[in-house]
Amino acid sequence: MLCSASSPPPPAGGHAATDHHARLRSAAARSDLPGALAAFAAMSTSASASPVLRTFTSLLKLCAARADLATGRAVHAQLAARGLSAESLAATALANMYAKCRRPGDARRVFDRMPVRDRVAWNALVAGYARNGLAGAAMEMVVRMQEEDGERPDSVTLVSVLPACADAQALGACREVHGFAVRASFDELVNVSTAILDVYCKCGVVEVARAVFDRMTDKNSVSWNAMIKGYAENGDATEALLLFKRMVGEGVDVTDVSVLAALHACGELGYLDEGRRVHELLMRIGLESNVSVMNALITMYSKCKRTDLAAQVFDEVRYKTPISWNAMILGCTQNGRPEDAVRLFSRMQLKNVKPDSFTLVSVIPALADISDPLQARWIHGYSIRLHLDQDVYVLTALIDMYAKCGRVSIARSLFNSARERHVITWNAMIHGYGSHGFGKVAVELFEEMKNSGRVPNETTFLSVLSACSHAGLVDEGRKYFSSVKEDYGLEPGMEHYGTMVDLLGRAGKLDEAWSFIQKMPMDPGISVYGAMLGACKLHKNVELAEESAHRIFELGPDEGVYHVLLANIYANASMWKDVARVRTAMEKKGLQKTPGWSIVQLKNEIHTFYSGSTNHQQAKDIYARLAKLIEEIKAVGYVPDTDSIHDVEDDVKAQLLNTHSEKLAIAYGLIRTAPGTTIQIKKNLRVCNDCHNATKLISLVTGREIIMRDIQRFHHFKDGKCSCGDYW
């Protein structure tokens, strides 16, 4: 082919040079590092297509994006061999690469060797430090760039340093950056204002963030997401949800970030209907394949007490992560479905999904609720095999589990072995002692905690007050309640007040308890009046019982337990018309008495008994053993306590008492276990006076220790005595 005079032929190899550079640029545009390296290799061996500076910077950019440190170092070596590593463009690219490969020290060394540093180079180092969690160094570089080189920060500088301010919780520095941005008019840029409101949220001043958000004339989805997420993370779920709904209403593009925050808010508020609407929305915009969103959906439904819907979502997740399993296991545990939680944990193992510490912290409370010492020992051993037994959260869960399985001595051994004791670890052990009736030991441990320098929190005080209540330590309880605010600046919550009323009420100080309620700085809740009503039953005070019950009924309880309690108080006082009136009120409100049950677990089988039930396959043997037991304990002084049964003859009362669920469970335990074996019973209601007295004597005549966990506490019956000291 002939070329015209105006179109001279290209030099030999010119097409090849152009081709190699084009290949590298194309690979870089696709983020194809192997393709770019192949083009670079071809270029390096070509006589006509030697690499230029931008070739290396393109490669370094790809290495940074992929965090490929080894290849980045090789490119650095090539630059150094060609004497190009000190060039401003190259050095900046190198500093950026090292920072993104989590080597901020190497980035700084490259930066320090630069003969001339421009704003881009400073920004690269500021961003690198911020990205690697070195907030102080990032903020220092912003000061130095102005002092040493006279470089004025630009919008890139601000967007780079603001996350460092958030990490350091440096609110003052954030305000300085914000002021600079306003003076330089950078706050008009949406990315700068978004970064500013984000850091205010992370520093906990969400109201300031909202002021920035409201002043923004231009907002994008990132701005909305930051503000919604800020509300959610600062505990204002209501405002997060309102802003999300406004975002949707204004037609702003909804992303996974805003959906995650909205689902979190719905879960915290228990807004099932709103949560379902968010579910429908995320399906419409195609987020059902986003596993993080689906995991949040599982958590939301679980927090709204709809584990059935959570399970549906879980089953629909095609590629389940450990977080998916953890969310579903925790949902079952927190919603009173411990057996389902344990079954899910077993499925997780069969699927060869490796549990982590969060998995164990989710399933261990389920095993604590089941209260099977054998399963407790198994999960403990499993955590040791996973090398997670010294994780402070796993260890705390194990301590709590052993205490709830009636093995408080093992719980204490674990507590003593802890390398690290978080406040929750102390709380678990103090609560464990309190729930077993060892109030004095709980108080001693609380004092040891304070002497160790560990600062108690609200939960600590709730645990120690409860321990004082169960052990009748009135003076200690008064002292600790006063200490909550006076010594630690904490505000007692409704539960603290309820526990204090329980403490005073159990001790028979009903007038003081009532006066205490009247002086509360908040409106007393059902738990407070409920504690008062229970004390009135214990000490047969009808007048205060009526007043307490009236306040409870005004608050609209969901369960009939308080109506039953009041009816029993009236019955004990032979006020039969009032008994009938309360029962009629229950019927009109559709409230029912919770049926009592007791369970005993033997060889991985759970046996459940209800009062008077005869459907157990060994019912004949159980009732025969129980009849013999009653005769044996009568011989050592047992007299049926019939105060809780009314409207029937005395002999029928005794017969009804003798078939209470806990007595049936104990009789079955005696049949199925060897002499000397401890029998462990779990009951869903408070153990009645008669069964408590009878069980003490059963432990005496059989020589057995019987551990009974009722809705309030543990009772250890041994040699005719109970660990509660009859103060329960």
284-333 tens-digit pLDDT: 999 999 999 999 999 999 999 999 999 999 999 999 999 999 999 999 99
Strand ranges for 561-640 from DSSP E: 597-602, 605-610
**Co-location of 527 and 601 in the same domain:** no
Residue 657 within a domain: yes
**Co-location of 521 and 631 in the same domain:** no
Which residue segment(s) compose the domain that 678 sits in?
A: 597-722
Task: Give the range with max mean pLDDT: 25-39, 42-56, 299-313.
Answer: 299-313
Residue 439 within a domain: yes
Residues 6+ apart with CB under 8 A from 241: 262, 265, 266, 269, 271, 274
Where is 71: in which H helix or E strand? helix 69-81
Measure the CA–CA gap between 69 and 98, rounded to whole angstroms: 7
pLDDT of residue 49: 52
Give the other-Cβ count within 10 Å of 10's Cβ.
Answer: 11
**Co-location of 477 and 610 in the same domain:** no
CATH of the domain at 524: 1.25.40.10
pLDDT of residue 727: 56
Residue 665 has pLDDT above 90, yes or no: yes
Percentage of residues in the chain with pLDDT exceeding 70?
94
Q: Which of 185-194, 342-351, 383-392 has the lowest mean pLDDT?
A: 185-194
Token pair, residue 36, equals 């770019």
Measure the CA–CA gap between 611 and 660, rounded to whole angstroms: 4
- The alpha carbons of the chain give a radius of gyration, in whole angstroms, of 35
Q: Which of 550, 579, 606 is the last residue of a domain?
A: 550
Token pair, residue 214, equals 């409201």
pLDDT digits (tens, 9 = 90+) for 9-23: 444 444 445 576 677
pLDDT digits (tens, 9 = 90+) for 239-248: 999 999 999 9
Residue 106 within a domain: no
The DSSP call for residue 292 is: H
**Co-location of 540 and 637 in the same domain:** no
Q: How far is CA 115 from the centre of its chain?
A: 52
In the chain, helix, strand, coil percent, each to 5? 65, 5, 30
Residue 239 within a domain: no
pLDDT of residue 648: 44
Is the pLDDT higher at 4 or at 263? 263
Measure the CA–CA gap between 591 and 585, rounded to whole angstroms: 9
CA atoms within 13 A on the CB side of 407: 21
Question: What's the pTM?
Answer: 0.81
**Co-location of 667 and 601 in the same domain:** yes
**Co-location of 533 and 633 in the same domain:** no
Q: Which of 515, 550, 585 is the last residue of a domain?
A: 550
Residue 409 within a domain: yes
pLDDT digits (tens, 9 = 90+) for 87-138: 888 888 888 888 888 998 888 988 888 888 888 888 888 888 888 878 777 7
Residues 6+ apart with CB under 8 A from 22: none
Cβ–Cβ < 8 Å for 313, 293: no
Measure the CA–CA gap between 450 and 442, rounded to whole angstroms: 13
**Co-location of 419 and 544 in the same domain:** yes
pLDDT of residue 11: 45
pLDDT of residue 169: 84
pLDDT of residue 4: 33
**Co-location of 539 and 611 in the same domain:** no
Mean pLDDT of the chain: 89
Residue 3 has pLDDT above 80, yes or no: no
Burial 708-725 (b: 16+ CB within 10 A, else e): bbbebbbbbbbeeebbbe
pLDDT of residue 20: 64
Q: How far is CA 576 from the centre of its chain?
A: 48
**Co-location of 546 and 408 in the same domain:** yes
pLDDT of residue 728: 52
Residues 6+ apart with CB under 8 A from 153: 119, 142, 145, 146, 161, 180
Is the pLDDT higher at 647 or at 552? 552
**Co-location of 538 and 605 in the same domain:** no
Considering all CA atoms of the chain, what is the largest pairwise distance in Å, rounded to the nearest integer?
Answer: 130
Cβ–Cβ < 8 Å for 246, 239: no
**Co-location of 546 and 601 in the same domain:** no
pLDDT of residue 566: 92
Residue 42 within a domain: no
Query: How many domains does the chain fold into?
Result: 2
Cβ–Cβ < 8 Å for 265, 293: no
**Co-location of 529 and 415 in the same domain:** yes
pLDDT of residue 137: 79
Residue 651 has pLDDT above 70, yes or no: no
Read off the pLDDT of each residue in 705-723 and give the average, rounded to a whole number: 92
> For residue 653, what are the CA distances in angstroms to 233, 384, 635?
57, 52, 19
Where is 682: in which H helix or E strand? strand 679-683
Q: Which of 550, 575, 608 is the last residue of a domain?
A: 550
Residue 637 within a domain: yes
